[in-house]
Chains A and B, each alone.
Chain A
Amino acid sequence: MTRSSLSSGVELRGPLFRGDPGKVVRRNVEAALERAAAAGARAARAELSAGEARRLPVSRIGGRVADHVQGRTRSLAGRSWSSTAIVSVVPLGAGADGVALMAAASLLERRTHALEGRAAAAMRAELLRVDTTRGLE
């Protein structure tokens, strides 16, 4: 009687096995959220700026609400939200200037829906283009 042995092996090659696929997907998601936040902020600023010529600046701060719109994927303290992009008017604090800015922002949002309307649509559209496997092909 003859005895034989058989062995087999699998060689894992290619971009998928070169790095950490989880981290690549994570980076792609973060990049997509950053793009969405930027697109949303652009859309909101454009909408808010549209009628500026017919409106006075916010008297206490001497500027426009649009100047204070920001798209973010992390808190002001710097902590990442990892799955959320936000467009908002960045507050100036709890003082009178901050209250004046937020009051003006609230009024403008009711009139224009720049944030809940245009900015949200721009962000959703940008997220639809997310390519989670970029760098893994």
Chain B
Amino acid sequence: MTHVEIPDELADAVFLEDHPGWSWDELQRAPADVVELMRRVRRARARTVALREAGL
């Protein structure tokens, strides 16, 4: 299995579209480690689901 991710800036834009409660300004002001954690969770989600589906 292999996977690619869109760049962080684009992923942030998609995140905002998916989460109407967040604004771009709030995302910029959020602590860097919180934003990084959100990005890691998002990146891991697809890979984890695909591996589980493959029974790996």
Chain A interfacial positions (CB closer than 8 Å to B): 22-23, 25-26, 29, 32-33, 36, 40, 72, 75-76, 79, 81-89, 91, 93-94, 98, 102, 115-116, 119-120, 123-124, 127, 130, 132
Contact = CB atoms under 8 A, between A and B. Distances in A.
Contacts of B16: 22
A115 B1 contact: yes
A120 B11 CA distance: 19
A40 B2 CA distance: 9
Contact of B10 (A87, A88, A120, A132): A132
Interface of B: 1-6, 10-11, 13-14, 16-18, 42-43, 45-47, 49-50, 53-56
A82 to B, nearest CB: 5
27 contacts: A22-B17, A26-B14, A26-B17, A29-B10, A36-B4, A72-B50, A75-B46, A75-B49, A75-B53, A83-B5, A83-B6, A83-B43, A84-B43, A84-B47, A85-B4, A86-B1, A86-B3, A86-B46, A86-B47, A88-B1, A89-B54, A91-B54, A98-B55, A102-B56, A123-B2, A123-B4, A127-B4
